[in-house]
Chains A and B, each alone.
Chain A
Amino acid sequence: MKKIIILGGGTAGWMCAAAMARFLIPRGIAITLIESDQIGTVGVGEATLPHLRFFNQTLGIDENAFMRATLATYKMGIEFQHWGRIGDAYIHPFGEYGRELDGIPFHHLWLKARQSGRAAPLDDYALPVKAAAAGKFDFPHPNPRSILSTFSYAFHLDAGLYARFLRDFAEQLGVERVEGRVDTIGRDERGHISALKLQDGNSLGADFFVDCSGFRALLLGGTLQTPFLDWSRWLPCDSAVAVPCESNRPPPPYTRAIAHSAGWQWQIPLQHRTGNGLVYARDHLSDDQACQRLMNSLPGPTSTEPRILRFKAGRRKNSWVGNCLAIGLSSGFLEPLESTGIYLIQIAITKFLALWPQGGSYPAGRREFNRQMSLEYERIRDFLILHYHATEREDSAFWRYCRYMAIPDDLRLKMALYREQGYIVGYGHGLFLQPSWLAVYHGQRILPKTYSPQADLLALDEIDRLLSGYRRLVQKGVAAMPDHASVIARQCGMRPLPVPPTAMSLYGGIAL
C-alpha cells in the first residue's frame, strides 16, 4: 500500500489524518485529505470522553497546548436532569462509586446498609460526583490508593478549533490537503474504489480510501451501497438545533443533559462560550417549537442564529468494505447523550491501525474490525436506550413511548438482572462498564429487589464503618480540590503543571 485518501475534513477526517500522519507516513505511505469548504462540517461535537487524552498522548500532542488551542474546559461527567422523573438530577461520573471489598461490589454493601437506614446517598461515595457538583477539579492523583485517584477526566472543546488544531498537526507531519468537492467516484473491476474525481476535473487515485464525509457517507453509503441499520425505533430523536451563547458564569466541570418533553438539551461549557443544543423527535416537536424552546432556555445571550441538524440513529452494517473504511458520521450515528461520537472515531482509527494489513490482504482484518465496531456500537446503543427507557415520566407522548417501547433483548436481560439481584452485566471490551450502568440505573430510580447475599458475609457495623470512612475521604478530598476555573487558568497560563498519565478507560485508575 502506497497511498491513502481521506475524504472529509471534519473532526473524523482530521483525527484520522493526524493519526495516520504519525503512524503511517513514517512507513512510507502518502496521506491526502480532501475537504470542501463549500460543504463545510457538521460543526458540533464538543463534549468528549477521557479516552481522548490517550489519543492525544499517543500522537504526542501536548495536552496543555491543546487546551489553549481549543479553548477547552475539563469534564468529570455528565449531569442528567429530569430523566427518571421531572425534578430529578444525577451525575454520571468518570469514576468509581466506593470500593469493592473482598470481591463484593460496593453497591451491594451500600444497598445492605441503605436497607437498614445506615447509608448516605450513593453520590456521597463518588468523589467525581461530589467534586463536579461543587465546581471543583484537579488532576487525578498518581497513587492508586488515594481517593483522589478514583476518577478520570475529559474535555469540552471548540469543535472548529479542534479540527484546525489537528489540521496543523497533520499538515506539519506531511499530510497533503486538497480543497475541492468530490463529484464522481471511480471503481475498478473488483468494485473497489480507485479514484475520486473533483468538481474542478482533477482526479485523485489511491490504494485505500477513508470515508469521513459525514452524514453523506459518500463512499460507503453512496458508492458501495452499504445498508444502514436503522435504530430509530429505540432512539427516536432525529433532529437537533444548536446555538452557542455567551457564558458569564464559571464553567462547571461537567456537561449538562436536560430532558424536555420530546428529547433533551445540552449545555457544554467552554472557556469563551457555552455550546447549546436541543435534541428532539420531530414526531413530537416541530422545528419552530424546538428553536423557540432552545432560545428561551439559553444560559446566556447569543447573537447567532440557531442551526438545525437532521440525523437518524443507526449504523452502516459494515464500516469497512473492500478498500474503503468509514469513520465518523459516515459509519453511523448515536445521539450525543453520552458524548460518544469522538470516542467512536478514535477507536475506529486505533482499531484500524492495529489490524491494518501492511501486506495488503484485507479480509481477516476487515472482518475483525467490523465485528469489533459493531460490538462497540451495540453496547453504546443499549446504554443510551437505557436513559430513555428507564423513566417514570408519562407527561408526554414521547416519554410514554420511550417508557413502554420494546427494547433490544440484551438490554432487557441486563435491566432484569439488575432489578432482580443488583447484578450489573460486565464485559471486557466496551466503553461503559459497571460504574456507568450503576450511575444510570440508580440515577433513574431502578432499585434491585435484593442485594447480593455475599454482602451478608460482612456485619452491618463493619459495612457501616467502611462506608462512613469512605464518605469522609470523599469529603476531605473534595474540600482539598481547587476550583475548576482556577485549574483551567493555571494550565492555560505561563506555568502549567505536567498532566497525569492516561489510560484507555472511562474510570481513571481502576481495572474493571
Chain B
Amino acid sequence: MNRSTNTGSAVSSASSAAQPVHWVVYGNNPAARYCQLYLVQQLPRERICVSLVAPGGKVSGAGFLFGDSAMEHCEIGIDPRDLLQSNTADILLALRIQSEANPQAGHWLASGGYGFMHQGQPFFHWWQRSRTLFDASEFNLVCRAAEAGRYGDIPTNAPEVYRSLERGLQFSYRDYCDHLDLAAQSRKLPVYRQQATLSPVDEHRFDLQLADGTRMQAGFIIDCDGALLAESALHNGQGGRSLPLPASRMTQTLSGCRKRLTAAHCTIGRDGWQLNLRGLRLDHKVIPAEYLRSYPHAWAGNLIGLGAALNIGGLAVDSLAQTQYQLRQLLPLMPLQTEDGCLRAAFNRQVATYNREVTDLHSLCHWLAGHTRRLSPGARAQLALFRASGSTLQTDIPLISAETRLLLPTLAGFWPRPGTIPTTGGDSDYNRWVRKLSADYRQAATTLPEYHCYLQSLCTSSSREKLCE
C-alpha cells in the first residue's frame, strides 16, 4: 500500500519568468490607496506591479473601522502605531449612539466583547434578567474603557473575560490618505493623479485612458471609486440593482477642537444620521424615496469593483472595511497567469455573499433608525428570529459579534417577545453575581492607562513593541 502517493504531474512554477501583470487601482479615497499597498505588500514584485490612478479633488469624509482593524494595517506594511503617533488616526473602541430626539440618553456600542457564556447561557440571555438595572455595555470592557477615555494593554494576568480589547480605528479620510500617500511615495509606487476613463480592448477587457491622453495598458483594473463600473455598465447596457437602502447626501463640518478619544459619536435622526469623530462632523441626510443601486457582479472581464464602487452603503460598515474584506477574498483568487473563469466566479460569489451580509446589516440599521420602511429579506428574517427566540441568524461572515447584532434592535426599543428567553437560577445569587460582575468590569477598565498617556508612551520603544505583539 502506498501512503501519500500523490505524485501526480508536477506543480508548475508560480514564479515562472513571465512578465509581472500590471494591475491598476482607480480611486481617490482610502480604499484605493489601501488596495495598492496591500497588493504590493502581499505579492512578490516579480509577479505584479500596481499603479494607482487617483482622480484629483479634495478627499472628504471620515470613517471608522471596527474589529482588530488597527492590526490589520500590518497587511499593508503600515505600523498601526505610526497612524496613532502621527495623529492620522485614533483607536476606536466603541460608538456612543444617541437619538436626535433625546441626545442625553445614549448607549455605548462595541462590535464585540460582551460578557461570556454563563451556566450554558449566552450573554444576551443572562443579561435579560438585569437589563433594567444594567446597560449591556456595563459588561463590555471595550465600552467601559471608551467611556472612561482609557486604552492600553490588558494585564496578562487579567481574567479571561476581560481579555477582549479589539482595536478599531477612526480617522478623517484626508489624514488617512495623506499617510498612505507618504507610504506609497517612500516605496516608490507609481501614482497618477488624473481622471481616467475606460478604453475598450475587446468585448470584455479595458485599458485606461488617462486625462492627459495616455493610454495605460492594464492586465486588471480595480475600481474603488465606482466611476469605471458605472461606465462599463453603460457599455454593456446594464444598470445597477436597487437595494432597500436609502441614498443619502453627506456634508462635512469642522466641529471645534480635535480632542483625541477612543470613542466616536453617532446621532440617529429620522431623516439621517450624524457622525462625530476626531473633530469632524459628518451629516448624512437621507434623500427621500431614493435608493442605492449596486452592481450584481464585482468582477467582469478585467474590471473588478471593490468597496465604495459597489455602492452598498456605509452606515455600519465603512467602505474601507468592505474593501479590506474583499481584497482578502481576491488575493488567493487573483489570476496571475491566465485569467480563469472559475476564479472570477468564486470571487463574485464570495463578494455577493459578503455584500448581502453588509446590505442586511445596513438595512436593519436604517430600518431601526426609521430611515426607511423597506427591509432586506435577510434583515427581516434576522428581526423575526430575534423576536421569536432572541437569537441571530447563522452566518459565515460575522461582521459584528452575535451579541452586538442582538443589541442593535434593543437600541430602538425592540426586544424578544416576552417568555422567549428562559430564566433559570436563584434570583438573589444572580443579583449578587451580576452586581459584582458589573463592578469588576468597571474596575478592570480603570486599570488601563488614560488614552493620552498611552499615546505619549508610544514614543518609548517598550510600549511600541507591546502593540506589535
Binding site for B on A (CB under 8 A): 23, 26-27, 58, 81, 84-85, 87-90, 103, 111-112, 114-115, 121-123, 133, 354-359, 361-365, 367-368, 371-372, 413, 416-417, 420-423, 425, 427-429, 442-443, 445-457
Contact B3 A123 (CB under 8 A): yes
Nearest chain A CB to B123 CB, angstrom units: 14
Interchain CB contact under 8 A, B6 and A122: yes
- Contacting pair B389 A454 (CB below 8 A): no
Task: Give complex CA distance A416, B10 in Å.
Answer: 17
Query: Are B2 and A88 within 8 A (Cβ)?
Result: yes
Whether the Cβ atoms of A89 and B12 lie closer than 8 Å is no
Establish whether residues A420 and B12, one from each chain, have CB atoms under 8 Å apart when the complex forms: no
A429 to chain B, nearest CB (A): 6
Q: Is the CB of A364 within 8 A of B1?
A: no
Q: What is the interface residue range for chain B against chain A?
A: 35 or more
The 11 listed contacts between A and B (C-beta, < 8 Å) are: A26-B424, A122-B4, A358-B422, A364-B389, A365-B391, A417-B343, A421-B332, A429-B395, A442-B4, A457-B42, A457-B43
Stretch at the interface among B136-144, B153-161, B206-214, B412-420: B412-420
B333 interface residue per 8 A CB criterion? yes
Q: Which of B165-173, B252-260, B380-388 contacts A (4 or more CB under 8 A)?
A: B380-388
Assess whether B11 is interfacial by the CB under 8 Å rule. Answer: yes
* CB of A476 to closest CB in B, whole Å: 20
Whether B393 is near chain A, meaning CB under 8 Å from some CB there, is yes
Q: How far is the CB of B7 from chain A (nearest CB, A)?
A: 8
Cβ–Cβ contact B15 & A429, under 8 A: no
Contact of A450 among B3, B9, B12, B391 (CB under 8 A): B12
Instruction: List chain B residues, Cβ under 8 A from A445.
Output: 5-6, 8
Contact among B5, B15, B394, B418 for A453, CB-based, below 8 A? B15
Shortest A264–chain B CB gap in Å is 15
Q: Are the CB atoms of B385 and A365 closer together than 8 Å?
A: yes
- Beyond A89-B3, A368-B394, 13 additional contacts (C-beta under 8 Å) are A27-B424, A88-B1, A115-B10, A359-B389, A365-B388, A367-B381, A416-B342, A420-B342, A423-B343, A429-B396, A445-B5, A453-B336, A456-B46
Is B331's CB within 8 Å of the partner chain A?
yes
Residues from chain B with a CB closer than 8 A to the CB of A425 are 346
Residue pair A114, B120 in contact (C-beta under 8 Å): no
**Is B22 in the interface zone, CB < 8 Å from A?**
no
The reply to whether A114 and B11 contact each other, CB–CB distance below 8 Å, is yes
Q: Within the complex, what minimum Cβ distance (angstroms) separates A376 from chain B?
A: 10
Cβ contacts under 8 Å, B48 to chain A:
453
Q: Indicate the member of B9, B388, B420 with the most A CB atoms within 10 Å.
A: B388
Do A359 and B343 touch across chains, with their CB atoms under 8 A apart? no
Inter-subunit contact B11/A89 (CB<8 Å): no
B419 to chain A: which residues have CB within 8 Å? 358-359
Residues of A within 8 A of B395 (CB): 428-429
Q: How far is the CA of A428 from the CA of B395 in the complex (A)?
A: 7
Residues 322-353 of chain B, each 1 if its beta carbon lies under 8 Å from chain A, else 0: 00000000011100110010110110010000
Tell me the nearest residue of chain B to A126, going by C-beta: B4
Q: B3 contacts which chain A residues (CB < 8 A)? A: 89-90, 121, 123, 133
Q: Out of A23, A358, A362, A420, name the residue touching B340 (CB < 8 Å).
A: A420
Within 8 A of A (CB), among B1-35: 1-6, 8-15
Task: Report chain A residues within 8 Å CB of B75.
Answer: 103
Give chain A residues whose Cβ lies under 8 Å from the Cβ of B1. Answer: 81, 87-89
B342→A85 contact, CB < 8 A? no
Could you say which residues of chain A place their CB within 8 Å of the CB of B389?
354-359, 364-365
Enumerate chain B residues within 8 angstroms of A448, measured Cβ to Cβ.
Answer: 11
Contacts of A122 in B (CB 8 A): 4, 6
Q: Are A358 and B342 in contact (CB under 8 A)?
A: no
Bound-state CA distance A144–B418 (Å) is 42
In the complex the two chains form, is B333's CB within 8 Å of A359's CB? no
Q: Within the assembled complex, what's the spacing in Å between the Cα atoms of A81 and B5?
A: 11
Is B398 part of the binding interface, using a Cβ–Cβ cutoff of 8 Å?
Answer: yes
Contact check, A427 vs B2: say whether CB atoms are below 8 A apart: no
Within 8 A of A (CB), among B359-409: 381, 384-385, 387-389, 391, 393-398
Residues of A close to B190: CB separation below 8 A: none
- Closest beta carbon of chain B to A46's beta carbon, Å: 24
The residues of B that contact A112 with a CB separation of less than 8 Å are 14
B2-A428 in contact (CB<8A): no
Minimal Cβ-Cβ distance residue in A for B421: A358
Q: Which residue of A lies closest to B337 (CB)?
A: A450
**Is B44 an interface position by the 8 A CB rule?**
yes
| Chain B residues positioned under 8 Å from A26 (CB to CB) | 424
Complex Cα gap A81–B47 (Å): 40
Q: How far is the CB of A444 from chain B (nearest CB, A)?
A: 8
CB closest chain-A residue, reference B390: A358
Cα–Cα distance between A111 and B424 once the two chains are bound (Å): 54
B393 and A111 contact, CB distance less than 8 A: no
- A417 & B6 in contact (Cβ 8 Å cutoff): no
- In the complex, A421→B385 CA distance in Å? 40
Specify which chain A residues have a CB less than 8 angstroms from the CB of B2 in the assembled complex.
87-89
10 closest A-B pairs by CB: A428-B396, A364-B384, A416-B342, A121-B4, A364-B388, A447-B8, A450-B14, A456-B44, A364-B385, A123-B4
